[in-house]
C-alpha cells in the first residue's frame, strides 16, 4: 500500500435503499419513485402529517435480516425505533425515524465484516452495525448546492427504506475504501435486496482524519464511484492545512460532485444535537431464532463461498474466480455457459473465463452497458471456444467477431456473412510466407540477429490473409523457410 496513507483513518457510513421493496418503510406508498412525477407517491404518513401513524414494513425486516446474515453481523432479538430530531425541509415531521444504539437502544444488528483484498493482501473491514431508517425527501438544487438560488423538494422519496452500514474507523486508504464498497455492492446484489446501480440507491458519508487531529465528515457522496475521489481530495485538503501550520476542526463537509471539492457545511455538530428519543408510535421489533433460521435457509450462496467453489469445480485461479463472482450476473452467465457443454474441461473452463472477463468485459465497458443490456447468450461463447478448438476460426478472427457476438448473432452466422474461416491449407500458408519473406528483406535481415523479428513476418502473413491463417502452422512454416534462406 502507498505509504502516503499510513496516518489516515477512514470510517464509512453507507446508506443503501432497499430498492427491491415495493412499498415504503412505514406506509404502503409506492417506493419506486424514479421517473415518477414529483410528489405523487405520498400519504399522511410519509408526509408526516399530525395524527398519522406509521406501521413497519415486514419485508424490510426480512431484507435487513438477509443482509445482516450475509455480512456476518449479530442480529439483536429486540430493537425499537428512535426519533432523530432535526429541522429541515426534506423531513416535514421534524424528525427521522431511525435506530439508535445508545440510550438503551440497539441497532438492528451489531458487528460483522467484509473481507477486501488489495495488492494481494487480505484484510477484514470490521463493521460497527447496520440499522434501518427512512429516507428523507429528495432535494433538487439548481446547479451547485452552494450557489443554487432555490431548491425543489420531491417527497416521493420520503419514507423509502434505507439500511445504514457503518464500519469501524479501520479503513486506511481511499483505495481500500473503494475495494470495500466493491465487495459490499456485490454482497447486496447476491442478497437480492437492492439494485445499487440505480441512481441514488447508494449514498456514502465518510469520516476522515489524520492521526492525532480532528476528523471531518464528508456527506452526500452520491455514488460509490465518487468515494475514492472525495476521500483523496479531503485528505489532500487536511494535509495542506496542517502544512501551513493550521489546526483542523471537527466539521461536516459536503462533496460537490460537479466541482470535485468538499465544502464546509457546518461546524460543531454533535450527536446530542439530534435529541434521540424512542419512537412511541411503533411497537418494538422482536426477532426470534426461528425467523432467522428461515431467512438463512433462503439465502443464496454468497460471493466468497462461490469463489471457492468455482476454484474447485472449474479449476480456476483465485484471481479469476474472485473476479467472476463479483457481479452475480456475470458469474451466473459463466456457469450457464460452461455447464451447457459436457465436453468442456479445465482448458475450456479457463478459455471461457478469459473470453468473458477480457473481451466481453471490454465491450461492456466501452459501451457502458451491463450484461443484461446486451443480447449476448452464454451458448455463443461456448460456440466460440469450440470453433477455435476445432480449428474452424483463429483466435484473431474470433476477436474480430466480438461486435457481432454482443448483438446476439450466432458464430456460424457471422462466419457465413463475413466469410472468415481459419486457413490451415499448407500450400496457401506457404505461398503467403514466401511472399512475406520476399517483400520484407529488411525484417528478414533483422531476424538473423534478432529471432523475435519473426513475429513481424507472421504479422505480415496475418495482414495478407485478414487474420485467417492458423498462427501455429504459419510460425512452423515461416521458421522452416527462414532456415532455408
Ligand atoms: Zn406514504
pLDDT at 183: 97
**Mean pLDDT value across residues 272-280:** 88
- Residue 184 alpha carbon to ligand 1 centre in Å: 29
Q: What is the pLDDT of residue 286?
A: 96
Geometric angle at alpha carbon 219, from 216 and 224, rounded to 5°: 115
Please tell me the distance between residue 455's alpha carbon and the centre of ligand 1 in angstroms: 68
Residue 218: predicted pLDDT: 95
Kindly tell me if the per-residue pLDDT of 269 is higher than 70: no
Q: What is the pTM of this model?
A: 0.85
CB 297: neighbour CB atoms within 10 A? Answer: 7
Q: Provide mean pLDDT across the span 83-107.
A: 92
Determine the average pLDDT of the residues in 454-481: 88
Instruction: Give per-residue pLDDT as tens, 111-140.
Output: 999 999 998 899 999 999 999 999 999 988
**Residue 275 alpha carbon to ligand 1 centre in Å:** 25
pLDDT of residue 296: 97
Distance 55 CA to ligand 1 centre (A): 11
| pLDDT, mean of residues 285-296 | 96
Cα of 24 from ligand 1 centre, angstroms: 7
What is the Å distance from ligand 1's center to 20 Cα?
17
Position 1 confidence tier, pLDDT thresholds 50, 70, 90: very low
Give me ligand 1 centre to Cα 178, in Å: 35
Cell of 373: 443490456
Confidence check: pLDDT of 83 > 50: yes
Q: How far is the CA of 88 from the centre of ligand 1 (A)?
A: 19
List beta partners, residue 267. 251
Cα→Cα distances 160→31, 47, 230, Å: 6, 12, 26
Distance CA 382, CA 355 (A): 10
Q: What would the pLDDT profile of 204-262 be if each residue is shown by its tens digit? A: 999 999 999 999 999 989 889 899 999 999 999 999 999 999 999 999 999 988 888 99
Burial class (CB in 10 A: 0-12, 13-18, 19+), 410: middle
- Asked if residue 169 lies in contact with residue 207, where contact means CB atoms within 8 angstroms, the answer is yes
CB of 103 within 8 A of CB of 120? no
How far is residue 139's CA from residue 354's CA, in Å, rounded to a whole number? 44
User: What pLDDT, on the 0 to 100 scale, is given for residue 268?
Assistant: 64
Ligand 1 centroid distance, CA of 40 (Å)? 10
Grid cell listed for 287: 426477532
CA of 151 to the centre of ligand 1 (A): 22
Residue 466 or residue 290, greater confidence: 290
Express each pLDDT in 385-438 by its tens digit.
Answer: 999 998 888 888 899 889 889 999 998 888 888 767 778 888 889 999 999 999
- Residue 286: strand, helix, or coil: strand
Determine the distance separating the centroid of ligand 1 and the alpha carbon of 59, expressed in angstroms.
16
Amino acid at each position: 500500500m502507498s505509504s502516503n496513507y499510513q496516518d489516515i483513518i477512514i470510517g464509512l457510513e453507507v446508506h443503501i435503499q432497499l430498492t427491491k421493496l415495493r412499498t415504503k418503510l412505514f406506509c404502503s406508498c409506492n417506493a419506486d419513485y424514479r421517473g415518477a412525477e414529483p410528489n405523487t407517491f405520498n400519504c399522511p404518513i410519509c408526509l408526516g402529517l399530525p395524527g398519522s401513524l406509521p406501521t413497519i414494513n415486514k419485508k424490510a425486516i426480512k431484507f435487513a435480516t438477509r443482509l445482516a446474515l450475509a455480512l456476518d453481523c449479530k442480529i439483536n432479538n429486540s430493537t425499537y425505533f428512535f426519533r432523530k430530531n432535526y429541522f429541515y425541509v426534506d423531513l416535514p415531521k421534524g424528525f427521522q425515524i431511525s435506530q439508535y444504539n445508545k440510550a438503551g437502544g440497539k441497532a438492528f444488528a451489531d458487528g460483522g465484516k467484509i473481507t477486501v483484498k488489495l495488492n494481494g493482501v487480505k484484510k477484514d473491514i470490521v463493521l460497527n452495525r447496520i440499522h434501518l431508517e427512512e429516507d428523507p425527501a429528495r432535494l433538487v438544487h439548481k446547479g451547485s448546492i452552494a450557489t443554487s438560488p432555490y431548491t425543489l423538494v420531491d417527497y416521493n422519496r420520503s419514507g423509502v427504506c434505507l439500511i445504514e452500514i457503518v464500519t469501524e474507523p479501520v479503513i486506511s486508504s481511499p483505495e481500500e475504501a473503494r475495494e470495500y464498497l466493491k465487495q459490499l455492492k456485490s454482497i447486496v446484489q447476491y442478497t437480492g435486496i437492492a439494485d445499487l446501480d440505480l441512481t441514488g440507491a447508494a449514498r456514502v458519508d465518510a469520516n476522515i482524519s489524520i492521526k492525532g487531529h480532528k476528523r471531518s465528515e464528508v456527506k452526500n457522496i452520491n455514488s460509490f464511484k465518487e468515494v475514492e475521489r472525495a476521500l483523496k481530495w479531503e485528505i489532500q485538503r487536511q494535509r495542506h492545512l496542517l502544512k501551513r501550520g493550521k489546526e483542523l476542526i471537527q466539521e461536516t463537509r459536503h462533496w460537490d460532485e460537479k466541482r470535485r471539492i468538499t465544502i464546509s457545511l457546518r461546524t460543531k455538530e454533535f450527536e446530542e444535537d439530534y435529541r434521540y428519543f424512542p419512537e412511541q408510535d411503533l411497537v418494538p421489533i422482536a426477532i426470534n431464532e426461528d425467523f432467522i433460521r428461515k431467512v438463512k435457509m433462503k439465502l443464496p450462496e454468497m460471493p466468497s463461498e462461490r469463489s471457492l467453489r468455482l476454484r474447485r469445480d472449474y479449476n480456476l485461479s483465485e484471481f479469476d474466480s474472485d473476479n467472476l463472482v463479483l457481479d452475480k450476473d456475470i458469474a451466473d452467465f459463466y456457469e450457464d455457459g460452461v455447464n451447457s457443454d459436457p465436453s468442456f474441461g479445465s482448458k475450456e473452463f479457463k478459455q471461457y473465463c478469459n473470453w468473458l472477463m477480457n473481451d466481453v468485459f471490454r465491450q461492456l465497458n466501452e459501451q457502458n452497458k451491463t450484461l443484461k443490456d446486451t443480447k449476448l447468450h452464454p451458448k455463443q461463447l461456448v460456440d466460440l471456444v469450440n470453433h477455435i478448438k476445432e480449428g474452424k476460426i483463429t483466435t484473431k478472427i474470433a476477436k474480430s467477431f466480438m461486435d457481432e457476438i454482443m448483438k446476439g448473432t450466432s458464430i456460424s452466422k457471422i462466419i457465413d456473412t463475413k466469410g472468415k474461416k481459419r486457413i490451415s491449407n499448407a500450400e496457401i500458408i506457404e505461398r503467403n510466407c514466401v511472399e512475406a519473406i520476399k517483400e520484407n528483406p529488411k525484417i528478414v535481415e533483422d531476424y538473423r540477429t534478432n529471432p523475435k523479428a519473426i513475429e513481424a513476418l507472421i504479422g505480415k502473413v496475418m495482414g495478407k490473409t485478414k487474420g485467417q491463417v492458423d498462427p501455429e502452422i504459419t510460425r512452423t512454416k515461416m521458421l522452416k523457410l527462414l532456415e532455408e534462406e
